[in-house]
Structure 1
């Protein structure tokens, strides 16, 4: 567990390895390219294998690009948290990574200003300039790496529920299958109750029953519904941000940036101490389209949306909703006193025992890439 004082505000931070049951997210769910260090000086001639420098340069490029993707996703997450905070001051849980994946899947079908607004809103405009499919390719690499990490225990999937006579372009369907493994499910949206039951059935199955009813109703005029989900069960790094004074936790959100979090992590040092952490479960659902509009992504939700890469009938299409429901659960093991590694900034004197008994923020990320998987705050651990 890591604890550190903040820069702008009095704050305690704890980085802990916890068993979080998972976070399935509806419209949306990753990971770094791992390079092993090589000890060339102590290797025999027989053990040495020549590597084409062009291959190494390519791997370095992808590593840098994934770091850019991680930074952009984190900035998007922090900005979105601030938008959510303007609506309520209770518990929060959402997946910046999951929402980014869903929007990039949709973006493959967009053109012009519609596409540009999505890129800018996700803070991925610089990367997107390197090629039309660079973002899908990066997300594919990240997700493949996460899937290969058995300890992370993360699975994800993508469904496209498509109206039986809706003309979707073959190029788009092929790309979505290639980069996001999208499974297409024929659906009769004219029978809205039947369509709702079908979609909820798929979601219940894939999230192991943790999201029993994502859709309460479905518009019979719907042509396509994209659903991306994440199931997260393993050990990952949770950075817990605990303000020194009760009531100051909301003020922290104005200062959250990549640079601030990176400064916290770089200034941590290890020591042992006892930490009491509460058992809690969060279950939050957000109509993300309303929040995304506030972040400059507007055109895709209007009648002037350009989705001509998705369907030939694009002039009649617009995105009506983007929903995300997220669940995070820390079980009984999180309530016990933990004797673990803890870090602190040298100038700050830490107590020998820390009790997380007041509102706190958490940042769940993959260690190597620093990819922001889930973000939120716990104000009352007993309220879903």
Structure 2
């Protein structure tokens, strides 16, 4: 029987709303670079219908996570997951390669594989550029066993396209290797994700790591003095006490009369925004079933400015996923089997992915007293009649980079304090 050696993918994400320092920003020059590169159509998740259906990868993954745990919190970073597997695809061939990219929504009869890699390269460049009051870092690392020699072309390509760091590790000592990887992840997520990797098989020869760290401040922070304890209904019969933030102001919003949900857009300083979707009681499943790119585009086009008395809970949740279980339901199977063709990594067959895990952490709060004080002057317009929108029951959240329209994070908050 042919011996197999193992690969492991580790994908981590952290999202936090907090005070940030001013950094020189990126503006339309990077967007123009992306658009004119020819890669924009491939990775663009905006409302124009050009390009691939890569945008729907986010919703496909969400729906599989939802089916796995229907009444639980969901939180993940689609850009972290897709970047890690796109990086792995540099070494994939034949059906293994096709399944990875088709499963992520790319049409390989219309798009060249190299153009997909180029699209991710430009996206990494854009997201890692400093932005006004947003701290974001998206990166990749390759840990290889000291006796394992990847092909020079593979190393050059993942360095060129994905700017991966290369680190040598001793997988014959799993506890030592695990500590090295966990320390790396902890450092890259600013200490927020610790002891992430639980175990390593001694037969492992390579670990691919993708991480994303995102920290931003609300454009109009909530005043902590307005936060009070309120009920949040996990379901219609189960209230829990949460710290509910409150603020009255002008927000872009839309009520979808067909799907029975309220959509509110909350901007951050810089080039990111949160899109919150609050289904009416009993309508969550209907909204989830309708989650595709076209639905979100309709919501975006329908947003109108309204004065809203907004109630939003503080949130502290985590999401942990076995990617293999979810991907196999999305048609990505071969890379996890003994039939995997990852010969582009080392020039030989006998490699397969035995573990692919993802963890993401979400923290949402008022944004601190300093930021709240700085925006007190803004709340001085003539008052108009306001509508109250209380996020006091399960809701869906998208964190979007406005420049690329890429969804950085997506989640469903069923219990804001279940960490």
TM range (shorter): 0.7 to 0.9
**Please, what is the CA RMSD of the aligned residues?**
3.0
Deviation string, structure 1 residues 225-244 (Cα, Å, up to 9, x no partner): 00010010123211000012
Is the 1:33–1:62 Cα contact (8 Å) retained in structure 2?
no
1:140-219 alignment, distance < 5 Å: 140-151=121-132, 152-219=134-201
Equivalent residue of 1:253, what SS?
Answer: helix
Is the 1:204–1:210 Cα contact (8 Å) retained in structure 2?
yes
- Look up the match of 1:20: 17
TM-score normalised by L of structure 1: 0.79
Counterparts of 1:182 and 1:36 in 2: how far apart (Å)? Answer: 21
1:238-257 alignment, distance < 5 Å: 238-245=274-281, 247-257=282-292
Counterparts of 1:183 and 1:172 in 2: how far apart (Å)? Answer: 13
- Look up the match of 2:92: 110
Is the 2:42–2:52 Cα contact (8 Å) retained in structure 1?
no
In terms of fraction of residues, the more strand-rich structure is 2
Is the 1:73–1:97 Cα contact (8 Å) retained in structure 2?
no
Deviation string, structure 1 residues 229-262 (Cα, Å, up to 9, x no partner): 00101232110000122x4223321110100110
Counterparts of 1:96 and 1:357 in 2: how far apart (Å)? Answer: 26
Is the 2:336–2:353 Cα contact (8 Å) retained in structure 1?
yes
Q: 1:325 aligns with which of 359, 362, 369?
A: 359
Counterparts of 2:27 and 2:407 in 1: how far apart (Å)? Answer: 16
> CA 1:183–1:61 in 2, change beyond 3 Å: closer, same or farther?
closer
- Look up the match of 1:95: 77
> CA 1:73–1:365 in 2, change beyond 3 Å: closer, same or farther?
farther
TM-score normalised by L of structure 2: 0.72
> CA 1:179–1:21 in 2, change beyond 3 Å: closer, same or farther?
farther
- Runs of 4 or more, structure 1, over 4 Å off, are 55-58, 68-71, 338-341
Counterparts of 2:30 and 2:164 in 1: how far apart (Å)? Answer: 31
> CA 1:194–1:382 in 2, change beyond 3 Å: closer, same or farther?
same
